[in-house]
Chains A and B, each alone.
Chain A
C-alpha cells in the first residue's frame, strides 16, 4: 500500500496490474485516524469485523472491494 506522486505516476505504475482502489491522501489520513487511533489506548479491545466495516462505510469506502468478508 503506497503513496504515488500523481495520477499519471499511479496509472503508469499500474500498467497491466489490477486496478485496486485509489484514495486521495486526505481520505487516507481520515481512514488511518479512524482505524488506528485507539491502538495505544490502555483500554484497547480488539475491533470486531462489524466495527471495522462501519469505519470503512463512514468514510464512503463501500462496494465489494471494501467488504471485509
Chain B
C-alpha cells in the first residue's frame, strides 16, 4: 500500500465520520480532487490489501471496518448517531475508533431477543454476555463478509 492509497483510505474513513455512513466514490472524489474513477481504482487496491471491503462489482464499500456500508443486526449509538457494525467485535470497534462511549444493540442468535450493552470509558456495563468467534483467525479473510 503506497502513500497515495493510504491517503485515499484515510480520506474515505474521514468521510465515514463526517457523513455518518460510508461514502460513495463521487463523494470522495468531490472532496479530494480525485476523479471517481481514480477513487474506485484506489478502493480496489485497498480491497486487495484488506484495508476495506468492496461490494461485488467493486463500485461501493461494503465494509470500512469496523463500520458497515449496509444495515446489519449490530447497531451502535455514539456521537449522536446510529452506526452499523459488521459484527459484535466491530460494534465495540466503532466506540474504539470514535474514541467515545456508546450503546451497542444486537440480538442473541439463539433466542432472537434483543441485547444491549453500554460502553463507558472503554468498558462494557455488563459481564453476562459471551462473544463467539466461529472462524479460526487464519481463515477470517477467506470470506470476510461471512466471517
Contacts and interface: CB of A to CB of B under 8 A. Distances in A.
Interface stretch (B21-29, B31-39, B54-62, B103-111): B103-111
A65 B136 CA distance: 5
A66 B137 contact: yes
Interface of A: 1-7, 9-10, 12-14, 17-18, 20-33, 35-40, 42, 44-46, 56, 64-69
Interface of B: 1, 6, 9-10, 13-14, 17, 49, 51, 65-66, 87-99, 106, 108-111, 113, 115, 117, 119, 122-124, 126-139, 147
Nearest to B93: A36
Contact of B124 (A12, A29, A40, A66): A29
B32 to A, nearest CB: 14
Contact of A10 (B51, B94, B113, B130): B130
B130 A68 contact: no
Contacts of A68: 137-138
A40 B137 contact: no
13 contacts: A2-B87, A9-B111, A23-B131, A23-B133, A25-B130, A26-B127, A28-B131, A29-B123, A32-B93, A32-B96, A36-B97, A40-B13, A46-B6
